[in-house]
Amino acid sequence: DLLKGVAAVLLARLMCSLMSAGLPFPSGDDTTYIGYIAGIFAILGHVRPLYYGFRGGKGVLVGVSIFLVVDPVVFAVLIGIFALVLWRSKYVSLGSIIATCFCPVVTCLLHLFVYHTSVIHTVLYVVLSAIMSAQIIFMHRSNMERLRSGTENRFSFRSKKA
């Protein structure tokens, strides 16, 4: 799953650089958005795979791997949020959902205040990361229902007793 996102982003960037042949990209030399777009389709292909009757995974690991390549600082912040929620709640799904919800916010704050990206590019990245986040959160509907009803499994390093 991790390789799906990494491969999608790297292949998309490689294809675009080969196809451009010196032609400028619509946003100048910034090709970050290509990674986000490739990520959207990698997540979509993971959560709705054609060969498995459109029934796939939740897309979290694919999403994580996309940010590992597209923006490692956003990746690190989101992993920190996930770890903090997991540590406090012991719910992997809750950590995944909350970290995913923070993805567009972290993307916006880092691009505006740390990277000093233009407002137009920041908005583009936030919208694209929100689309990725929405896909992942949508796939966690059953987990959210189990969290509400109190039947979601907790994470533990201890083995279950027979």
Task: Tell me the whole-structure pTM to 2 decimals.
Answer: 0.89
Query: What is the three-class DSSP state of 28?
Result: strand
pLDDT digits (tens, 9 = 90+) for 52-108: 888 889 999 999 999 999 999 999 999 999 999 999 999 999 999 999 999 999 999
| Res 52: pLDDT | 87
Query: What is the residue extent of each domain of the chain?
Result: 2-149
Task: Please tell me the distance from the alpha carbon of residue 52 to that of residue 67, in angstroms, as a whole number.
Answer: 26
119: Cα separation from own chain's centroid? 21
